[in-house]
Structure 1
């Protein structure tokens, strides 16, 4: 499991180098059962049943291994044994059907939903009571009724039928009601049940998920009644409802727990200083030293299953790989790079389609066709704009994901410390006059964030790329730097041939100097045993908390960055509230 999850963390799909390497490492071990399980999983995910091949026999064959595996590892585990029972029920149901008759995807989902469920809530316990309990108002037979939490969300749901199901019912004398007729019958049955009651006590829900849900529409047919707040039911220290009462006891007053500290003081910790640095590490260190110490110095990381790439991160990796593949395919050693023209939309689309199963397999899941088409359309247009824009500006792309590892000397309080500074430049290019350029590719919804970082010379990732190129090619002019926004197909650059916004050149040397000064100060604090919680410090500084809206955070951050810049410093924000370390940093949750 660990090997396969790590492979999916590197490439969220199957069939690629990471997946094949994981299978090879499992094969090198001496666990035959693990190897067999891995091979079966590989066959299942590498050759999924197409929608037009959902036949009971084919599905049942795939369930045989799952049932055997659950039986072998269950061994008294209630959840696993429940899953085994559901699989066995599903196998029996499939055995009742014609083995070669195709099922629609919706029918199969209905069968699965009927055979297996999430089970009762772990908070639900059996009780012995003289009261009858019903699950629908239509089942009320009289007497006093306590109706708990009637909500407008409980409205009847429409049952959908396939044409084949309608025809089969009609052949047997059955008639499918229209949604309106079906809802009318349910409402009529519920009202007839409620009107048989002698007394109805309704407990209306308060706030749920930060919203006040509306009451059931059935209440409007029962008359106004008396509405009482819970505290109005207290008399002489007892709370009474439906002829039952409880003594009201005020809990002892507790002091509000102190907020987690914004700084941790420990013994001097020079052993926590990094042996290697990268831009990702630097960004984390500057934003929140506590987060950095947990993740990089102490190796406290999320479980592999929680770190699987998805969403924008996954799509960004996919489109990066499309660019890399096209550059490798089009690279001409005689030219020293790619030709000054753009690949066709068909060529870009073909590469993307080939890489999706390897790097973004969730886009191939049923129901994701629209999302996949949106990603494909955006990627084809933006990758085409990247190549055509670079060609029109006279930039010949010379490499992608160019790895570098260079010595970096830090002037710390206890003396010089030299560590490798490692990273990969997204796109290297060279202009007609021989000047080097580097572009960082970003898949981001924001069209202003990276322009702002560039304009304020705080794009420290670009500064690190420029520094690396200067170390590799000493004596040359400083490299031109810029971003390319993959989602919108726009450049952020001082080159007017790429970006029409008339931007001034970014001072990469000054940005690199400010970054090194900030890194040195943070590492001196760590060596001295002072670990700051940067995100919480920023919250206190801006007067916001983790629940603040994006617009409020953005405005406050802009002001804080400007103040830090005015003082000659550098403010990097990486919101811990969206990370797995949020509770450990004290950004979210209650820590005592």
Structure 2
């Protein structure tokens, strides 16, 4: 017999088991292919073909045809709302019809008539042929008289009558052209045991008298990683003659194999979220107005980035502190760039930064010019090509950028709105790319993606991830019964969901029948942390076993795949159960541990030491700090920071002073100034969904400005002449002094002076909280002490609560005779207790005792303080990020103390 001998199956495009060579060194005239492989083979032998159009290109072409025919059609509104998504879905519908033989026929009205109108749409480019058109072209060529495919024998892994259209017609045409058809020979199966009983039952043959070893295992595990470890230990004994049905791509098994020193299979998952594939989408996202600081932070923190790592990290830290691109911290990071590099190098980096994250912004509705998107795509391709080498993800980034450029040219749009862009970029990244370096290694266990890819016998079949989520659902048919009847009457054959399920069952039967010694079904309770149910085939297999499935079930915590105790197999080692350490109020450090004092304390560090010593120890003695991946400021914290700055600037605005701080003047000034400040330090508030917060900010600043300006005018107060870090007098002033523990520093929000030279320290908080009786807050005492040391007199102290526009104490700026709370005398009287508390805490640390104020003290617990010491300011409103270390796992939102 001359001609090619072909083995064909729907699941054979991705490889099969056994290897087609069957242990031979080479073969001639034999191929094993799936649908795409057979289609390509037939096109080659029949002289058909050409370069197939990429699917994203066809989606855009079909979108143009839909738009040309949309008026009054069933898809008109969907197309207007989501043109690419609608075009993609309807193209899938249309291709399914074309595969069944539809050529644009329809009734007088309804959805089929509307799609037929799309086929006839004039004055638009034609739709490039897809897989259905290619298959139909092959079929027409095969049906020509005297035409031969050159295929001598076609062995089918599935029954011809259960193949989806148009494959039954193609198989029939091949047979009429002289090709011999054959069915795949069933494997011999097992010799005995439960496995043989199951195989006979699935084949519909009697099972009486079949006895033998326990050769079916349903392996249960609490997670996929736990199951993978058990499987890897089992495969260490030898993988010859074993085939793994991997199902959906999964990296858990390969990780376990690597840990055991076994060759990995290369069945790593593909993902569109690899860092290199995010460069272009994020670069474009930074052009939309308002600019989203979350996207900017993601771009700066990409592991694969076109920006130097040091610069990106500095800018990310600046953005996390002040979320904007023109604020003080951002400018400082850029200034450091200029000081660290040569003039030419700094200029080149600055230009590169501007090219990637700067430039003009565009409204999502009107869109970005196509030329700008092409420029960004070319930049991405050039960067990835230069950095790529053999990196698969960078090569994919180049391909993505090239595809985007082609799609933009094809779209015909001069400006691309955001919705259209999002759909275009999604089309180019659907497949994604696998994890770098995750390739199949020499000698790895045989692996297939689907049970239908097992064509011959195997000693052992292991069905990895035998659970519900590992099975792709049968395709959903959008057509009604009447539409299907209409199509059938015109000779159009549609895929049946029932046949899809039956094909999967046939593949399952063949995979089970391939095992001669052992069948292992791995059923984890969770996959990637998410619960998963039973595999849909489990009930049918259990029924075939006649109630013996329970006897086949093994937990990998108790027994290994081979049946021995889990501990003996090396999967798990017994560990005695221990209770979690109890949360304790006091840590007692080893005697040799010495925690030295710090040379300089600030208010924030001194506050930790006095009120929450464990935070001070972990921060400064243990030097534990948050990592690089810091989120943007929390809403209230950001509101407080922005309100600080706006109020400080407003107090110095001559225009407002001239208008006597009238509500209209303040509101008009805020309307002009606030957008600029938000762009520099408050980008999150510019997002559309944050409009209520912007209104809340403006209202709070207006109230506070008018309240404070009135009190200053009544008492003759003015801002101190000293200039702070923003260059504003009396605002954000750095002050220094000493206390019992050494040097002390602080930063004052506002420092006022009256006509008699007396000072007032105002500390701003976003929102009011409950104050502790007559005890003056530590922050105000520290700042007051530093001013007292520099001027010789204690200042007045107060909080300005911005959201409420309230000063507390309300009489803080009034004449002395009217004041009764938090007076200068009160400050002087309470300061010694602060230093006494410091001495007590220092003595505790010297004894190796650390009080954990996050843990509620039971009776008799805690550390006693001398009566003359200041009372600590209560339990922490926030755990400082150390919750897991102290056993205080409840993350409490920061209160107003953290809004500075």
- Superposition TM-score, scaled by structure 1 size: 0.65
- Residue 457 of structure 2 corresponds to residue 133 of structure 1: no
CA distance in 1, matches of 2:877, 2:539: 50
RMSD over aligned CA atoms reads 5.5
Does the 8 A contact of 1:268 with 1:529 survive in 2?
no
1:353-412 deviation per Cα after TM superposition (whole angstroms, max 9, x unaligned):
111121123445xxx3112x12211101111111233355566673453414242230x6
- Residue 389 of structure 2 corresponds to residue 39 of structure 1: no
Aligned to 2:809: 494
SS of 2:651's partner is helix
Q: 1:111 to 1:230 in 2, by over 3 A?
A: farther
**Offset, 1:484:** 0.4
- Residue 405 of structure 2 corresponds to residue 405 of structure 1: no
Does the 8 A contact of 1:56 with 1:95 survive in 2?
no
**Offset, 1:317:** 2.0
Gaps of 5+ in 2: 1-310, 456-460, 477-494, 513-519, 720-729, 814-818, 891-900
Gaps of 5+ in 1: 159-184, 445-449, 544-555
Moved more, 43-52 or 117-126: 117-126
1:119-168 deviation per Cα after TM superposition (whole angstroms, max 9, x unaligned):
44689885966775359xx9999x9988645369x99999xxxxxxxxxx
Q: 1:145 to 1:461 in 2, by over 3 A?
A: same
Does the 8 A contact of 1:483 with 1:492 survive in 2?
yes
Q: 1:529 to 1:380 in 2, by over 3 A?
A: same
Give the count of matched residue pairs. Answer: 505
Does the 8 A contact of 2:685 with 2:693 survive in 1?
no
Aligned to 2:53: none
CA distance in 1, matches of 2:593, 2:565: 55
**Aligned equivalent of 1:569, options 871, 887, 900:** 871
Q: How does 1:277-292 map to 2 (within 5 A)?
A: 277-292=601-616
Moved more, 514-523 or 286-295: 286-295
Q: 1:266 to 1:88 in 2, by over 3 A?
A: farther
CA distance in 2, matches of 1:229, 1:578: 51
CA distance in 2, matches of 1:38, 1:204: 51
Aligned to 1:523: 842
- Residue 395 of structure 2 corresponds to residue 59 of structure 1: no
Q: How does 1:6-405 map to 2 (within 5 A)?
A: 6-8=317-319, 11-28=322-339, 29-30=341-342, 32-33=344-345, 35-50=347-362, 51=364, 52-73=366-387, 78=391, 82-83=393-394, 85-98=396-409, 101-116=414-429, 119-120=433-434, 132-134=448-450, 148-150=466-468, 203=523, 205=525, 233=554, 238=559, 247-249=565-567, 251-254=573-576, 256=578, 259=581, 262-265=587-590, 272-293=596-617, 295-296=619-620, 301-304=625-628, 306=630, 309=633, 311-330=635-654, 339=660, 341-342=662-663, 343-364=665-686, 368-371=687-690, 373-391=691-709, 393=711, 398-399=718-719, 401-405=731-735
1:488-513 deviation per Cα after TM superposition (whole angstroms, max 9, x unaligned):
x3536232899xxxx98345455544
Q: 1:115 to 1:292 in 2, by over 3 A?
A: farther
Does the 8 A contact of 2:781 with 2:831 survive in 1?
yes
Does the 8 A contact of 2:837 with 2:870 survive in 1?
no
- Superposition TM-score, scaled by structure 2 size: 0.46
Aligned to 2:38: none
CA distance in 1, matches of 2:777, 2:550: 56
Q: 1:133 to 1:70 in 2, by over 3 A?
A: closer
SS of 2:835's partner is helix
Q: 1:308 to 1:380 in 2, by over 3 A?
A: closer
